[in-house]
Copies of this chain bind each other. A is one copy, B any other.
Amino acid sequence: MHDPPLGQRFALLTDLYQLTMAACYFEQGMHEEATFSFFIRKYPPHRGYFVAAGLEEALRYLETLQFTSDDLAYLESTGLFSSKFLGYLKGVRFTGEVFALPEGSIFFKDEPILEVSAPIIEAQLAETFIINAVSLQTLIASKASRSFQVAQGRPLIDFSLRRDQGTDAGLKVARASYLAGFQGTSNVLAGQLYDLPIFGTMAHSYVTSFPQEIESFRVFAKNFPGITTLLIDTYDNVQGAHKAVQVAKEMEARGERMGYVRLDSGDIAAISKEVRKILDDNGLEYVKILASGGFDEFKMAQVLAAGGQVDSFAVGTKMGVSADAPYFDCAYKLVKYAGRPVMKLSTGKVTLVDKKQIYRRYDAQGRLERDTITLRDELLPEATPLLQPFMAGGGVSRELPTLKESREYFLSQLALLPEPYKALEDPAPYPVDLSPGLKDLQARTEREIQQREL
Binding site for B on A (CB under 8 A): 1, 3-4, 9-10, 12-21, 23-25, 27-28, 30, 34, 36, 70-71, 74-75, 78, 80, 120, 124, 127-129, 131-133, 135-136, 139, 159, 161-172, 186-189, 191-192, 198-209, 212-213, 216, 219-220, 222-224, 227, 233-236, 239, 264-266, 317-318, 320-323, 326-328, 330, 332-334, 337, 342-349, 449-450, 452-454
Contact = CB atoms under 8 A, between A and B. Distances in A.
A36 B205 contact: yes
A127 B200 CA distance: 14
A80 B223 CA distance: 9
19 contacts: A15-B159, A15-B162, A15-B186, A17-B200, A28-B219, A74-B192, A80-B224, A124-B203, A135-B163, A165-B165, A165-B168, A166-B169, A205-B333, A208-B344, A209-B337, A235-B344, A235-B453, A265-B349, A323-B327
A203 B14 CA distance: 13
B265 A348 contact: yes
B16 A223 contact: no
A168 B264 CA distance: 29
Contacts of A172: 166
Contacts of A166: 132-133, 136, 165-169, 171-172
A164 B165 contact: yes
Nearest to A4: B1
B78 A198 contact: yes
Contacts of A209: 25, 30, 34, 120, 334, 337, 342
Nearest to A13: B189
Contacts of A136: 165-166
A206 B34 CA distance: 11
B208 A334 contact: yes
A293 to B, nearest CB: 9
A9 B1 contact: yes
A70 B1 CA distance: 8
Given A12-B188, A320-B327, 9 more contacts: A1-B70, A13-B161, A20-B201, A21-B202, A127-B205, A162-B332, A166-B169, A204-B333, A235-B453
Given A132-B161, A132-B162, A188-B13, A223 B167 contact: no
B454 A17 contact: no
Contacts of A28: 219
A24 B220 contact: yes
B20 A220 contact: yes
Given A166-B168, A186-B15, A234-B344, A321 B327 contact: yes
Contacts of A133: 166-167
A90 B200 CA distance: 21
Contacts of A4: 1
Contacts of A9: 1
Contact of A170 (B23, B132, B224, B323): B132
A450 B453 CA distance: 76
A67 to B, nearest CB: 11
A437 B169 CA distance: 41
A186 to B, nearest CB: 4
A202 B17 contact: yes
A235 B172 CA distance: 37
Contact of A205 (B16, B239, B265, B334): B334
A198 B454 CA distance: 33
Given A209-B25, A453-B212, A453-B213, A346 B170 contact: no
Given A208-B344, A265-B349, A449 B235 contact: yes
Contacts of A239: 453-454
B264 A346 contact: yes
Contacts of A265: 346-349
B208 A337 contact: yes
Contacts of A204: 333-334, 344, 346
